[in-house]
Amino acid sequence: MKSLTDSVQVLPGVGPKRVQALAELGISTIEDLITYYPFRYEDLAAKEPQNVVDQQKVTFQGVVATQPTVARFGRQKVRVNFRLLIGNESVMVTFFNQPWIKNQINADEEIAVYGKWDANRRSLTGIKIIDEEANLQPVYPANKHIRQATIQQLATDAINQYQEQIQDVIPEELITKYRLLHRLAMVQALHFPADDQKTRDARRTAMFEEFLTFQMGLQLVKSRERIENGTAIKYQIQLVREFIQQLPFELTDAQKRVTNEILANLKSPTHMNRLLQGDVGSGKTVVAAIAMYATLTAGMQATLMAPTEILAEQHANNLSRFFEKLDVKIALLVGGIRKKIRDEMLAEIKNGEIDIVVGTHAIIQEDVQFKNLGLGIIDEQHRFGVHQRQLLREKGAAPDILAMTATPIPRTLAITTYGDMDVSIIDQAPAGRKPIITKWVKRGEWEKVLAFMTKEFANGRQAFIVTPLIEESEAMDLQNAMELYQELCEFFGEKYPIAILHGKMDGAQKDQIMADFKEGKYMGLVSTTVIEVGVDVPNATLMVIQDADRFGLAQLHQLRGRVGRGQYQAYCILVADPKNEVGKQRMQIMVDTNDGFEISEADLKMRGQGDLFGKQQSGVPEFKVGDPVVDLGALQTAQIDAAKIVSQPAWDQDPRYQNLRLYLENKIQINKSLD
């Protein structure tokens, strides 16, 4: 039987290579494909030349006034020329290297041509001939293995073949109430846009579907919380105290307070579902370590899930240090480990030999079973979905859950996105930290940056130099980083050795370089943003961020938090030539404040103002269509509707909510089998 959970392989022309290319875009099922929405539309509606500005892409509709001519030029280059009469203006149209166009064009016929307008020469460089129906052309996020047109073709095939399976997820009553589209009409309007109004309604529908299913997920967690009992973790307070006393530093008051909140939760038989907020460097990890240790003293296991391998490794290393003198066995469970080793590890997790499992979402895979998981910790909570949190909970009888985030979230938003959780806040930095001094310079002032770096090196201090990672083109990013690396190597020579760290290196290589940098074998470390959540290097005092305007504010703040962890004065230099006012303001905020809370508020406020970057790090979950800040109203509406549905007795037996329930179940299923 056909189902939207079918693999894209069922579509014509999708072999192993395409499966791989699609997977890189996050598409593996038919459902993924039909909800892979265009991120913008090209306007193909015909316009008059006098209303079009120079170099704009535009469609002209008119009558072919001259027989097309084909001319060859250069080596193997072909040009097709003809005149198009639009009203009473005659425009020259030129197609390069598409000789077949000639056969599609006949004198005296009316046609529509899409191309780029040169206002001075009154000529159009043709891109394609379009049929009159299409006014809006969808543009998809693509990668180098798969073309726009292919994605559109596959989406079309999927929608046509699965029409019957594309059933409403949003209950009928809400579709009526908010004048939304039915699901089939919605995906059709998004992938084959016909008119503006319909596309807008479709977008509104897609957004509501996403918000509603998200809020349903939260409500389900919440309602399970009410019926299920948690486990009382009977930790040995004396051992926990001793552990805290042997730490190499005194806890801050804020750390003590949140530790007490968490310990009280662990002890009580009600279930813990707590969010721990604290700025970068505020010391969340040690609080997590205390909570884990307490769990172990009760004879139970603990786990910590991080969004990336490098962060998981970092946590594993830190915890090993905290538990150095104790008999605690920690395992690192990530995606790429060998089957034999993984099997052994899984056996030891199951029989309880391993006390703490640190890893990526590899932890929530189906075959990972704990002996008795008492506590599950999630780092960088917003990078995970609510379903993943739910799956982590299912790894034990009723483990307590502690989610950590470095990004303070404004209250209104916190209620709608983490409404089901209690919150603890570390609002104090460890004593003796000097605020980081931040400067913003233009690219043209690079020499000053080099001079400052030289000064820090001469004082024996080290520097991070970060180049941006722009997902669209990994190869380009790497090239930029390599060029900068070479430039610095030449500039500093043997006196101050420089290293490079990038995403294409394997884990062992990265570890080695980080370890060497930490030991002082290198003075400077050039890297793509992979070190964003990297290792502590107390001797590093300088963070230089190239093209800083390409990062989100929250991310800049995270990066800056990599320095200033030792006793020396630390600096952050932002190198950027922002193109607009908002960009300039963003740089200025970084210069003006070190307060993560202020920064994240500013970040959120500036969203939807052409700020395309940094969504990931802004502390709220990501959505495909809606923006939880800009579309907060819709998110709140969805929250109320979800709560209403879940509050009805036996709602999950109600045929009105059948598809919604199935949709949520599928989503959980998919997360379970994620590699």
Among 394, 536, 547, 652, binds ligand ADP (CB under 6 A): 536
Among positions 200-259, residues that touch ligand ADP (CB under 6 A) are 249-252, 255
> CB-wise, 332 or 426, nearer to ligand ADP?
426
What is the C-alpha separation between 661 and 390, in angstroms, rounded?
15
Give every CB contact of residue 128 below 8 A, 6+ residues apart in sequence: 113, 114, 115
> CB-wise, 176 or 245, nearer to ligand ADP?
245
Among positions 389-408, residues that touch ligand ADP (CB under 6 A) are 406
Amino acid at 383: R
Beta pairing partners, 483: none
Binding mask 403-432 for ligand ADP (x = CB under 6 A): ---x-----------------------x--
528 is written with which tokens?
A: 């793509």
Alpha helices in 228-338 (DSSP H): 237-245, 253-267, 284-297, 309-322
What CA–CA distances, in Å, run from 578 to 526, 543, 549, 562?
22, 19, 6, 23
> CB-wise, 38 or 278, nearer to ligand ADP?
278
Strand 123-130, strand 273-278: pairing: unpaired
Query: CA Rg, the chain, in Å?
Result: 28
Q: Where are the beta strands (DSSP E) in 442-564?
A: 462-466, 498-501, 524-527, 540-546
Q: Are 337 and 506 in contact (CB under 8 A)?
A: no
Least separation, in Å, of the C-beta of 252 and ligand ADP? 5
Q: How many CB atoms lie within 10 A of CB 482?
A: 14
Q: How many residues of this chain interact with ligand ADP, rule: CB under 6 A?
A: 17
Least separation, in Å, of the C-beta of 460 and ligand ADP? 20
> CB-wise, 379 or 477, nearer to ligand ADP?
379
What is the C-alpha separation between 402 and 155, in angstroms, rounded?
39
3-state helix, strand, coil in the chain (%, to 5): 45, 20, 35
Using alpha carbons, select from 262, 271, 575 the residue that is nearest to residue 441: 575
> CB-wise, 165 or 252, nearer to ligand ADP?
252
> CB-wise, 387 or 560, nearer to ligand ADP?
560
> CB-wise, 67 or 567, nearer to ligand ADP?
567
> CB-wise, 8 or 599, nearer to ligand ADP?
599
DSSP 20-77: HHHHHTT--BHHHHHT---SEEEE--B--GGG--TT-EEEEEEEE-S--EEEEETTTE
> CB-wise, 138 or 408, nearer to ligand ADP?
408
Give me the residue whose beta carbon is nearest to ligand ADP: 283
Using alpha carbons, select from 279, 43, 30 the residue that is nearest to residue 167: 30
> CB-wise, 372 or 428, nearer to ligand ADP?
428
Least separation, in Å, of the C-beta of 246 and ligand ADP? 13
Give every CB contact of residue 539 below 8 A, 6+ residues apart in sequence: 460, 461, 462, 520, 566, 568
Binding mask 449-478 for ligand ADP (x = CB under 6 A): ------------------------------
Binding mask 272-291 for ligand ADP (x = CB under 6 A): ------x-xxxxxxx-----
Strand 524-527, strand 462-466: pairing: parallel
Least separation, in Å, of the C-beta of 432 and ligand ADP? 8
CA atoms within 13 A on the CB side of 407: 30
Amino acid at 235: Y
Least separation, in Å, of the C-beta of 403 and ligand ADP? 13
> CB-wise, 285 or 527, nearer to ligand ADP?
285
Least separation, in Å, of the C-beta of 98 and ligand ADP? 55
Among positions 579-638, residues that touch ligand ADP (CB under 6 A) are none
Least separation, in Å, of the C-beta of 536 and ligand ADP? 5
What is the C-alpha separation between 494 and 545, in angstroms, rounded?
23
428 is written with which tokens?
A: 């104090």
> CB-wise, 34 or 276, nearer to ligand ADP?
276
Least separation, in Å, of the C-beta of 559 and ligand ADP? 12
> CB-wise, 113 or 316, nearer to ligand ADP?
316
What's the 3-state SS for 311-367?
HHHHHHHHHHHHCCCCCCCEEEECCCCCHHHHHHHHHHHHCCCCCEEEECHHHHCCC
Least separation, in Å, of the C-beta of 313 and ligand ADP? 14
Least separation, in Å, of the C-beta of 279 and ligand ADP? 7
Least separation, in Å, of the C-beta of 253 and ligand ADP? 9
Binding mask 539-578 for ligand ADP (x = CB under 6 A): --------------------------x-------------
Write out the residues near ligand ADP by the rule CB under 6 A: 249-252, 255, 278, 280-286, 406, 430, 536, 565
